[in-house]
């Protein structure tokens, strides 16, 4: 999607993709990554996700990247967190004790920002891209992650003809074909979550699978 699409969504607060609760798969599977408490965790296209608060509560240093400035500002205001602002090149930098959010384009994020990262969490990034742009994002994510980094990837999959995203359908086949060059991939769980997603029910989508993968950067 073009940047203007997301800026308009945030400006109009049409942010149905923002979850009001911490992702259940994150709670269930994060411990399987067996990370030290102070590990730096990268969260691409982080929005104002509460999942970052969960990661910080585990003791992690969270490094997020988000295109939209309003989303970043709302993360700190919604959670009543003090924030210090600065700049790193063309990216704005918003920091509190355990969370640093870089506001700007992930494709121009300096690689030094993630050089000490050992883990990552992607719930909303991969599924935010249409097919024509998704592989480019996957390569950029791999570029930003040091070798040996481990992460949790959460995807959604549904019949392509049933709905035009975002969020876009990402099948297990796509994950294997496009991520296996750079990552070791382990499917942790897949479940039909249609009943918990009224938008998809109202659009008469027949099924909606949410899947969690454990990835390791090769």
Q: How far is CA 142 from the centre of its chain?
A: 14
If one counts every other C-beta atom within 10 angstroms of the C-beta of residue 22, the result is 16
Q: Is 195 exposed, middle or buried (0-12, 13-18, 19+ CB in 10 A)?
A: exposed
Q: Residues 185, 194, 186, CA angle at the centre, nearest 5°?
A: 10
DSSP structure class, residue 90: T
Query: In whole numbers, what is the pLDDT of the chain averaged over residues?
Result: 91
Catalogue all structural domains in the chain, each as residue range(s) with its CATH number: 3-13+21-217 (3.40.50.150)
The pLDDT, as a whole number, for residue 9 is 55
Residue stretches of the chain with pLDDT short of 50: 6, 10, 15, 17-18
The helices-and-strands tally (H runs, E runs) of the chain is: 7, 9
For residue 129, the model assigns a pLDDT of: 92
């Amino acid at each position: 999607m073009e940047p203007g699409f997301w800026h308009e969504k945030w400006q109009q607060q049409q942010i149905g993709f923002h979850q009001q609760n911490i992702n259940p798969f994150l709670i269930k599977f994060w411990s399987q990554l067996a990370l030290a408490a102070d590990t730096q965790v990268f969260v691409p296209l982080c929005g104002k996700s509460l999942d970052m608060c969960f990661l910080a509560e585990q003791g992690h240093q969270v490094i997020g990247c988000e295109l939209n400035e309003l989303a970043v500002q709302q993360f700190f205001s919604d959670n009543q967190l003090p924030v210090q602002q600065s700049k790193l090149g063309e990216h704005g930098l918003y920091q509190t004790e355990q969370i640093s959010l870089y506001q700007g384009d992930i494709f121009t994020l300096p690689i030094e920002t993630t050089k000490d990262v050992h883990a990552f969490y992607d719930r909303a990034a991969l599924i935010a891209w249409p097919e024509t742009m998704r592989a480019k994002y996957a390569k950029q994510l791999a570029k930003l992650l040091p070798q040996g980094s481990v992460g949790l990837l959460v995807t959604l999959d549904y019949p392509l003809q049933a709905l035009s995203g975002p969020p876009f359908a990402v099948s297990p086949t796509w994950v294997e074909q496009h991520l296996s060059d750079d990552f070791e991939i382990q499917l942790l769980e897949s479940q039909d979550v249609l009943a918990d997603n009224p938008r998809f029910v109202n659009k008469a989508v027949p099924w909606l699978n949410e899947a969690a993968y454990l990835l390791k950067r090769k």
